[in-house]
Amino acid sequence: MRAIFKIALGIIAALGGFLDIGDLVFNTQAGALFRYDLLWAVVLGTAGIAVYAEMCGRVAAVTQRPVFDVIRMRLGFGMGLVGLIASTLVNLLTVAAELGGLAIILELLFDATFSMFVVVAAIGLVVVVALLPFGGIERLFGYCGLMMLVFIATALHQGPDWGEVAHGFVPSFSGSTLYLYFVVGVFAAALMPYEVHFYSSGAIEEGWTESSLRENRLNAIVGYSLGGILACALVVSGFLFHPVGVDPSDLGTVALPAQGAFGETGLLLALGGMMFCIGGAAVDSSFSASYNLAQFLGWEWGRYRGPRKAPRFTASWLVFLFLAMLIVLSGINPVEITEYSVVFSVVALPLTYLPILMIAGDRSFMGKHANGRVSTLLGWAYFALIVVLAVAAVPLLLATNGGGG
Amino acid sequence: MRSGEPIFIAHRLLDEQILDSEGRRCGRVDDIELRGTPPRITALLVGVALYPRRLPRRLRGLARRLAGPERWGANAMRVPWEEVDEVDTAVHLRGKAEELGLGNGDHPENWMVKRLPWN
Amino acid sequence: MRVERRWRWVPAAASIAALSICATGCGDLSRAELSRGVESLSALAAQGGLIANGVARDATKSTYSRVMAKTLGDEAEHEAEKLADATPSPEVTRERDAAVQIAGEIAQLFSELRTFPGDERHGVLVQRHMREAKERADAVVTRLTGEAP
């Protein structure tokens, strides 16, 4: 009974922590520009992260190897270093985007200067991480992120044409370059690698072993699938802006439908939910950067070790947070940073996905827990898809002028 | 050991995480020392100074400049093969990290670590 | 190098083509660009209406309304300046002037929301004016493109 409760809590935390600023920006814009036509891409991306995360969690539980341990072992020092550098740069951009997003939300709630909120947000994150253990941090952001459920309520309140919504789950190709760019963007925003790298290291932080495999499967598959419903709700609520041609590239605009439907309560739930989602993502992406560095170089790592036993890991985390803060304070629009972080992360994705796929299917490492026929098929199918998207991403970014059309 | 084995084992050992007797992470196997005929593993080599060897020739010069010259005992450590206890999902050592000079970067007496705000 | 006879007309044709393309509006505000600009004004007005509606019903947070009004107001002003600075191609001058005026009005309405983010009466007025501004913007778009937005 306790086990079921624990698993349920894990699923809830995964649901609440599923979205980040990338999803908020890309999914709402997708709804505004293309109505429900990109829902299939949301589902595809959600299934992708479920597949990837389940594999990473299984590898970590069975072999006690997090992602960058596998990468260094499988790709060697040279190629592994390429993967590390690419991941670190992308993670840095992501942390900056999330930090900027946090500052925007704080500004909307408390109205003072943006720059001040950037610093406040960074300090706030340090305080939370310093005070809480790993599990506590994840639960705090995960449970509070459940406020995002107001977006499902908003979507239902808008009374969409469910027939048309259903139609959106069937892949279609409008053929426009902008549509293709958003296919990549929506998919990439759902399948952000930092989230999976964090999940893999988190498995070891939480002491998962072979007995945790069912928890891993349920967390990854059920938790992330439910999160996908939230992501779809963003698309549907974005559609409110479609007939009026609003471009919801403003975070504040994302919350507007909730305000329209449920007044001040709806607005506060939306903004609060966004704040915890984005805050959780800032922690996850900054931790991910430090995990990757420490694991690749063989340092001691982990929140569970504490700053005294893992000084280099902790110091590198603070440095990454500080660098991200500088990036935001430099004046670049956080929403623009978000677009770059999402697009470049899908470009770097094949390099970190392939080694995991190979180890997860390798019986000499995984024993009886190696990929079965379904996992192998899904794993390789997604790899092919990821490679196609990785190649198409930057050309589409340039062709659409950053999604500007 | 059969003639094919040491090379296979060396290949399998390279880049593995090293854990000391207390389970502390103290570096990765950055290179392996093979001696004799047939070649036998005599030591594991760990350290930043060994990175340039692992990179393609063109990048070696730059990497050497960044990592500094090989100073054995400082930025390059030799762990004799006898110190290895077991190899499963990581390389487990018989002794503690500080006895072997490993994991210096995380050691509380390290000059940089002492200066960190929480120490 | 002797150029073959049949290709000699190419440079002349190319220059004529280039000149005529420039004559139709190289660097000028074209019909399509202006229409995009006015569409974004329509979108700003729509958002402004939603925000003002929240204020009118006292169903929103005043900090949110104020910050949104500032951001969107800045966008409207920026659009106004952009349209005013550009040289319109002759057939869209009238529409361009109308767009500049609408942009200015929208910016002014947002400025009012900024000053009175909690005042319900102002919310009602701004919402109505925003709707009117949006209708006028949509009318301009229809005139430009010949189709409803």
The CB density around residue A110, as the number of other CB atoms within 10 Å, is: 13
Give the model's pLDDT for residue C8: 65
CB C40 within 8 A of CB A405: no
Angle at C84 between CA C82 and CA C86, to 5 degrees: 70
- Classify burial at C145, counting beta carbons within 10 Å of its beta carbon; exposed 0-12, middle 13-18, buried 19 or more: middle
Largest CA distance in chain A: 58
pLDDT digits (tens, 9 = 90+) for A369-379: 999 999 999 99
Give the model's pLDDT for residue B1: 36
Which DSSP helix (H) or strand (E) runs through A364? helix A363-366
**Chains with at least 3 CB pairs less than 8 angstroms from chain C:** A
CB A14 within 8 A of CB A144: no
Q: Which residues pair with B28 in a beta bridge?
A: B17
pLDDT digits (tens, 9 = 90+) for C34-81: 888 898 899 899 999 999 999 999 999 999 999 999 999 999 999 999
Give the model's pLDDT for residue C25: 43
A207 close to B (CB below 8 A): no
Helices then strands, counting H and E runs in chain A, come out as 19, 0
Strand B77-80 and strand B31-35: pairing? Answer: unpaired
Angle at A116 between CA A112 and CA A121, to 5 degrees: 105
Q: Scan residues 304-363 of A and list those with Cβ closer than 8 Å to B.
A: 307-312, 314-315
Which DSSP helix (H) or strand (E) runs through B25? strand B25-28
Residue A305 sits in a domain of what CATH number? Answer: 1.20.1740.10
Contact state of A260 with C66 under an 8 Å Cβ cutoff: no
A405 or A364, which is more confident: A364
Q: At what angle do helices A256-297 and A2-16 cross, to 10 degrees?
A: 110
The residue of chain A nearest to residue B89, with distances taken between CA atoms, is A63
Contact state of C59 with A264 under an 8 Å Cβ cutoff: yes
Q: Residue A207 pLDDT > 60, yes or no?
A: yes
CA-based radius of gyration for chain C:
22
Q: Scan residues 48-107 of A and list those with Cβ closer than 8 Å to B.
A: 63-65, 69, 72-73, 76-78, 80-81
- Calpha distance C41→B1 (Å, rounded): 79
To the nearest whole Å, the CA of A403 is away from the closest chain B CA by 37
CA-based radius of gyration for chain B:
15
- Calpha distance C7→B109 (Å, rounded): 81
CB A14 within 8 A of CB A223: yes
Please give the C-alpha separations between residue C40 and each of A117, A374, C11, in angstroms, as whole numbers. Answer: 29, 48, 41
Mean pLDDT, chain B, whole residue set:
88
B9 or A333, which is more confident: A333
Give the model's pLDDT for residue A250: 80
pLDDT digits (tens, 9 = 90+) for A31-63: 988 889 999 999 999 999 999 999 999 999 999
CB A269 within 8 A of CB A144: no
CB A87 within 8 A of CB A294: no
Q: Residue B80 pLDDT > 60, yes or no?
A: yes
For residue A24, which of A225, A286, A260, A277 has the smallest C-alpha distance? A277
Q: How confident is the model at residue A16 (pLDDT cuts 50, 70, 90)?
A: confident
For residue A337, which of A349, A348, A325, A347 has the smallest C-alpha distance? A325
pLDDT digits (tens, 9 = 90+) for C75-100: 999 999 999 988 888 888 888 999 99
A160 close to B (CB below 8 A): no
Instruction: Give the tokens for residue A218.
Output: 């349920």
The three-class DSSP label of residue B41 is: strand
A367 close to C (CB below 8 A): no
Q: Which CATH architecture has domain B5-114?
A: Roll (2.30)
**Cis preceding-peptide flag for A311 (omega within 30 of 0):** no
- Calpha distance C126→C121 (Å, rounded): 9
The residue of chain A nearest to residue C51, with distances taken between CA atoms, is A256
CB A284 within 8 A of CB A198: yes
β-sheet with B31-35: strand ranges across:
B31-35, B40-46, B77-80
Residues of A in contact with C134 (CB under 8 A): 244
The residue of chain A nearest to residue C61, with distances taken between CA atoms, is A264
Q: How much of chain A exceeds pLDDT 70, in percent?
A: 97
Q: Left (φ > 0), alpha (ψ -120 to 50) or beta: where does A283 sit?
A: alpha
- Classify burial at B97, counting beta carbons within 10 Å of its beta carbon; exposed 0-12, middle 13-18, buried 19 or more: buried
Touch of C by B (3+ CB pairs closer than 8 Å)? no
Q: Which residues contact C52 (CB under 8 A, 6 or more apart)?
A: C109, C113, C123, C124, C126, C127, C130
b/e A198-236 (16+ beta carbons within 10 angstroms → b): bbbbbbbbbebeeebbebbbbbbbbbbbbbbbbbbbbbb
Q: Residue C147 pLDDT > 70, yes or no?
A: no
Q: Which residue in the set B15, B26, B89 is minimally distant from A77, CB to CB?
A: B15
The residue of chain A nearest to residue C68, with distances taken between CA atoms, is A252
CB A92 within 8 A of CB A327: yes
pTM: 0.90
Q: Where are the alpha helices (DSSP H) in chain B?
A: 5-13, 51-54, 57-67, 111-114
A172 falls within a domain = yes
pLDDT digits (tens, 9 = 90+) for A152-177: 999 898 888 889 889 999 998 877 89
Q: Residue A87 pLDDT > 90, yes or no?
A: yes
A268 close to C (CB below 8 A): yes
C20 or A82, which is more confident: A82
Q: How much of chain B exceeds pLDDT 70, in percent?
A: 93
Q: How confident is the model at residue B6 (pLDDT cuts 50, 70, 90)?
A: low
Give the model's pLDDT for residue C10: 61
A170 falls within a domain = yes
| A350: Cα separation from own chain's centroid | 16
The residue of chain B nearest to residue A295, with distances taken between CA atoms, is B17
Contact state of C71 with A250 under an 8 Å Cβ cutoff: yes
A404 falls within a domain = no
Lowest mean pLDDT among A283-287, A341-345, B111-115, C122-126: B111-115
To the nearest whole Å, the CA of A214 is away from the closest chain B CA by 22
- Domain that includes residue A203, residue range: 2-239+247-399
Give the model's pLDDT for residue A198: 94
pLDDT digits (tens, 9 = 90+) for C5-24: 666 666 665 555 555 554 44
pLDDT digits (tens, 9 = 90+) for B9-65: 777 899 999 999 999 999 999 999 998 888 889 999 999 999 999 999 999 999 999
Backbone φ, ψ for residue B19 (5° rounding): -120, 140
A405 falls within a domain = no
Q: Which residues contact B114 (CB under 8 A, 6 or more apart)?
A: B108
Contact state of C67 with A107 under an 8 Å Cβ cutoff: yes
Q: Which residue in the set A76, A309, A315 is minimally distant from B15, CB to CB?
A: A76
| Strand locations in chain C (E) | none
DSSP at A56: H
CB A316 within 8 A of CB B47: no
CB C117 within 8 A of CB C62: yes
Mean pLDDT, chain A, whole residue set:
92
Number of domains in chain A: 1
Contact state of C61 with A264 under an 8 Å Cβ cutoff: yes
pLDDT digits (tens, 9 = 90+) for A210-267: 999 999 999 999 999 999 999 999 999 888 776 666 666 688 999 998 998 999 999 9
Q: Which residue in the set A69, A76, A314 is minimally distant from B17, CB to CB?
A: A69
A297 close to B (CB below 8 A): yes
